[in-house]
Structure 1
């Protein structure tokens, strides 16, 4: 992990990461330790799949704890105070449409809180990169690995 990388995020995104970290540290760790104790009681650890599974999960959780701590340490809360109301930026919800298609709406967030299934896309995604800095009613070209396409920005809302 790059020490100087900044993680832009909304206040809500930061709160969710803090809650996840608290759950991992207090509840999940204790559950895994209990699973390891139970698995050890089964005897021979060399052929104990329950023990191996619990140890693997413990490694995953510890890695996730370190990742979240790092992201929170380098978190930068998004502030759109100096940005025009109709300009697309991180933390705003933007609607756009391709000619002849229905409008799509996404909230642009930092990579740490991206969840495309919930309509939250990373500021590092091709769509967000193409929209950022543009304004309502502009037509912009989105560059993706599968080709380019033009969209018109039909709405911009500030969520902060």
Structure 2
């Protein structure tokens, strides 16, 4: 008499395989999220540098003056559009201030631009300026200069943890 073997897997074997697949997929998803955060920060930094280049071109074409706001870069054909945030596709959590070294209401002879990054441990913070603001808003400008050392969307409060990547000319 031949011994007949059953074909297939037992319930325990199937559960073990499913558990292993679940653990592996959670590890992969966790590492993908970290990569996505870094990719969005790289995009924000690249966009800031693109805006900086457009500001330099505007400055050279407009009697050594910067615009009071970023919209002038689009209307002046220095950029096709103001970049959108890679996380929510809306407007950037940007701060831009046209600054006058003279008095309020004078033309813009400087600027301060920044964006909040998601990765607070990013090494790029070693190369930003961490300007504490306080510049005088120039003609056509609104609001006030921001604190580049802040954590709340390049906000107005000084903080020890820097999540604001900011640039000046």
When normalised by structure 1's length, the TM-score is: 0.25
Higher strand share: 1
When normalised by structure 2's length, the TM-score is: 0.24
Q: Which has the higher contact order (CA 8 A, sep 6+)?
A: 1
Higher helix share: 1
Larger radius of gyration: 2
